Structure 1
Amino acid sequence: MTKLKKTYPLYLNNKAAQPNTDLEVTDKFTGKVAFRTALATPDVIEEAIAGAVRAAEPMARLASYEKQDVLQHCVDRFQERFDELAYALCVEAGKPIGDAEGEVTRLIDTFRIGAEEAVRNYGEIQPLDISARAKGYMGLWKRVPIGPCSFISPFNFPLNLAAHKIAPAIAMGCPFVMKPASLTPLGAIIMGEVLAECDVLPEGAFSILPARRDGADMFTNDDRLKLLSFTGSPGVGWDLKARAGKKKVVLELGGNAAAIVDKDADLDHALERIVFGAFYQSGQSCIGVQRILIHADVYDEFKAMLVKKTKTLKAGDPKKRETFIGPMISEKEAVRLKGWIDLAVEGGATLLCGGKREGNMLEATLLEGVPRDADASKEEAFGPLANLSKFTEFAEALEQVNDSKFGLQAGVFTRDIHQVLDAWDTLDVGGVVVNDVPSYRVDNMPYGGVKDSGLGREGIRFAMEDMSEIRNLVIRRESAG
């Protein structure tokens, strides 16, 4: 059986360091301390930022094949440590073991994509002779690393969402400092352990630093850092952007994603995917299905199917294979969402199933008739809750999806290609997923949102663009003019 160590270091300028062991990390199911990690003080963070600044030039000089070799090494080592990584996720995040294994698979995919993109940093030749005065001139441009980057990653996908920052940084040649979520730091620390095996990386190429909020301010405010990439809650993300100064900012924030089920949809398929999208890893996903919009012609039938299927979901110990619903990240979060459910019911919503809480375990919950101004409808639930509503015209459903301050992804179950194109044209979101849930993501696609859901796009190629600047070259032939 896989076991975790009692203490883990942080990684400072490519090397393991143990300045203290102040951060206790709990097993989210038992509530007991599972391990401790070193905690970065402001002095340690300062040393890491200074190291990243020193590493900027040698990182930029790394050959494409060298960056590819580092990323491929990570792929190989993550495959070798697959079970360890999955078990760590299961413990620190409370993620059911099947979901944890799925995230490790995506971690490997993300670094593999990074290895491929490391040798695809293309530029362009541009004709400049667009008028007589520019005859004999030609232009070229290329992308160069932006410089030291700052990363803050969340608790819900502590492996893959950290990977979506680390892999493109290495592929682009940017040194970085990362603050993993204090509730789930181990995945990033293991990535640091693997990166530390790569001698080709210059000192200061990376630091993985669990830190408290006061120390974390340095990840945001320091002007030596040229890019801040944050994944987390909208309130925190927009505040960080306001304080980030001159640096470029990429934000992957919240959502309350909707899935439309049209009258011609394959209901059996939609059922399986929507139940998964709403309740996998206890709904703690920014693209989890929170709003289910069902055509009036199939509403009663599909509602009955959803309630029946949801009641069969097994809740309990995430280390057991049969478990689908594990604990929420903390009792505080479970109490919050239970309060939202109760307030929605008091406001006129109908509780179709679920709604009970014990500690940080909250039942998979379906509501209908939730008032539009209720938190359970307008805010991000980030837990095992989904709301049902009815529509009669497809255009009406599109309007309902857009009636949100969030705009991350949306799902549309339909066989009508015209309605697919209408959705793509109309929905104010970062991505439309047809005949699947908005929770679906492939790690090479451009992923991100609009409105309060964020700025910029992830997906290795697109993150590399954010982590780079365009440098132009103009050449005048001697015979010009």
Structure 2
Amino acid sequence: MYVAGEWIGREDATVVSPFDGEPVGTVPEATPAEVERALRAAVAGAAAMRALPGAERTAILRRAADRADAKVEDLARTIARESGKTLTEARGEAGRAGELLRVSAAEGARMHGETLPLDASPGAVGKLGFTLRQPCGVVVAIAPFNFPLLLVLHKVAPALAAGNAVILKPATQTPLTALALTELLVGAGLPDHALQCLTGAGGRLGPLLCRDHRVRKVSFTGSTAVGERIAAVAGVKRLSLELGASCPTLVLADADLDQAARAIATGGYANAGQVCISVQRVLVDRAVHGDLLDALLPQVDAIRPGDPLADGTTMGPLISEDEARRVQTVVAAAGARGARLLTGGERDGALVSPAVVDGVDPSDPLSQDELFGPAIAVTTVDGVAEAIRVANDTSYGLGAGVFTRDIQAALRFVRDVDCGALHVNWTPLWRADPMPYGGLKGSGIGKEGPRYAVQEMTELKAVVFHDVD
């Protein structure tokens, strides 16, 4: 790990491959004293970053982007080995890192305020008002395992671009990619102590970091339960919480069913379904229910689970065998309550074959709770009104999609479905860096995406110039 400008190489914990359990690397387990050391260093780093001109921050991140471009294959193999993601998926993730760094650099460079129309208020004639943005200071970034490079960068890059110091706590299962990124950023010329990377269990380190008064901003991606605990201990500071989901895709009677089936087969099983915006619920109009399944099942059956580093594998394992057992149990339990398992659901170690479960009651845990695994729940509905009602009938609101040729139905969907991102004629599994990314309801608070993350990671000040008598 990297603390106060020093690489610490103790071998306290072993990182293993989810596919075969083989060791991939070792990392330290940060102690409370090392957490305190990181916090003290971050305070100094925040002062150095705040004093750094925007042009210099931009140059550092652009150098880091060039370094990331040169290391795509190395980063991809690290991602695949420690997360279980297929090498194809890992290369896609690693290949986006450089551009995300460049976009973040650009957004940090154009961080600006606005003039205030003070003379619209009585008694304010002749006064000049405007706003300024300044860095928050110390940002704690707590990242998940499922995108160990991109979801780390979506926190770290905007924070640095805005002039903050960052303490990064990567997921326990996937710290090696974050450490490689830390080395890359430090080597690009970051000021001393601008970035720390602490490894160890989130249950131990999270409270120490999140409740500390020197931390002004916490950015967390993970489960709703952990997000609630962070909110309870954080105190008065800025929070961005990207939490759980059970994303619906609506397939209306006039949809292009081949397009819908192709998109669902991608959106439900990418990264073995371990994506917050994965398709979990398919709400299909009763009139086209059978036709959609006829189009969907062959595409799901064509997915090939296996060794993520092997040619021909199109879906890797879940992050652990315990997670695979959990997913298998949830799928089987839905079947025991009357749903029909049409394909998949078998487990081999951490691999679970892609599953389609039909006739799932909207109140079933397979619909209500976040699955984070390779299975979709199919539920029939009668028309757009019922589809929207069922789509909204969970505690989550991250993403949703609809397939329809009817512009009125599409407009009704985007107005009435309570989610942070809405896709017409695609599934929720789609994201571009310029988008604001974040959910409603139990799916969290705050937005990511470089432009919006820069706003979340800065403080807004109002300035008023008064006449001198």
- Report the secondary structure of 1:173's partner residue: coil
Output the CA distance in 2 between the equivalents of 1:253 and 1:277.
18
Partner of 2:192: 203
2:7 to 11, 16, 20: 16
| Aligned amino acid, residue 12 of structure 1 | V
Output the CA distance in 2 between the equivalents of 1:215 and 1:57.
24
**1:358 is the counterpart of 2:348:** yes
Output the CA distance in 2 between the equivalents of 1:62 and 1:401.
47
Equivalent runs, 1:106-255 vs 2, <5 Å: 106-199=96-189, 201-212=190-201, 213-255=203-245
Partner of 2:47: 57
Given that residues 154 and 231 in structure 1 are in contact (C-alpha distance below 8 angstroms), is that contact kept between their aligned partners in structure 2?
A: yes
- Report the secondary structure of 1:281's partner residue: helix
Given that residues 145 and 171 in structure 2 are in contact (C-alpha distance below 8 angstroms), is that contact kept between their aligned partners in structure 1?
A: yes
How many Å apart are 1:281 and its aligned residue? 0.9
Given that residues 252 and 383 in structure 2 are in contact (C-alpha distance below 8 angstroms), is that contact kept between their aligned partners in structure 1?
A: no
How many Å apart are 1:109 and its aligned residue? 2.6
Output the CA distance in 2 between the equivalents of 1:440 and 1:270.
14
Q: Mean Cα displacement is larger for which, 126-135 or 43-52?
A: 126-135
Equivalent runs, 1:81-120 vs 2, <5 Å: 81-120=71-110
- Report the secondary structure of 1:217's partner residue: helix
How many Å apart are 1:16 and its aligned residue? 2.2
Q: Give the superposed CA RMSD.
A: 1.3
Output the CA distance in 2 between the equivalents of 1:380 and 1:456.
20
- Report the secondary structure of 1:373's partner residue: coil
2:292 to 302, 305, 318: 302
Output the CA distance in 2 between the equivalents of 1:14 and 1:416.
58
How many Å apart are 1:372 and its aligned residue? 3.0
1:28 to 15, 18, 22: 18
Output the CA distance in 2 between the equivalents of 1:71 and 1:113.
9
Given that residues 142 and 220 in structure 2 are in contact (C-alpha distance below 8 angstroms), is that contact kept between their aligned partners in structure 1?
A: yes
Query: Could you say if the C-alpha distance between residues 67 and 386 of structure 1 is closer, same or farther in structure 2, counting changes exceeding 3 Å?
Result: same
- Report the secondary structure of 2:389's partner residue: helix
**1:387 is the counterpart of 2:404:** no
Superposed CA deviations along residues 234-256 of structure 1, whole A, max 9, x for unmatched, are: 11111111111111111001101
Given that residues 397 and 441 in structure 2 are in contact (C-alpha distance below 8 angstroms), is that contact kept between their aligned partners in structure 1?
A: yes
Matched pairs, number: 468
User: For structure 1, which runs of at least 5 residues remain unmatched after alignment?
Assistant: 1-9
Q: TM-score, normalised by structure 2?
A: 0.97
Superposed CA deviations along residues 128-152 of structure 1, whole A, max 9, x for unmatched, are: 1124521110101111111101111
Output the CA distance in 1 between the equivalents of 2:428 and 2:376.
13
Given that residues 11 and 17 in structure 1 are in contact (C-alpha distance below 8 angstroms), is that contact kept between their aligned partners in structure 2?
A: yes
Partner of 1:440: 430
| Aligned amino acid, residue 118 of structure 2 | L
How many Å apart are 1:14 and its aligned residue? 3.8
Output the CA distance in 2 between the equivalents of 1:448 and 1:205.
26
Query: Could you say if the C-alpha distance between residues 131 and 356 of structure 1 is closer, same or farther in structure 2, counting changes exceeding 3 Å?
Result: closer
Q: Mean Cα displacement is larger for which, 222-231 or 49-58?
A: 49-58
**1:279 is the counterpart of 2:279:** no
How many Å apart are 1:104 and its aligned residue? 1.1
Output the CA distance in 2 between the equivalents of 1:246 and 1:216.
16
Q: TM-score, normalised by structure 1?
A: 0.95
Superposed CA deviations along residues 98-152 of structure 1, whole A, max 9, x for unmatched, are: 1111111232232121121121101111121124521110101111111101111
How many Å apart are 1:64 and its aligned residue? 1.0
Superposed CA deviations along residues 235-285 of structure 1, whole A, max 9, x for unmatched, are: 111111111111111100110101111222222221111100000111001
Given that residues 178 and 208 in structure 1 are in contact (C-alpha distance below 8 angstroms), is that contact kept between their aligned partners in structure 2?
A: yes
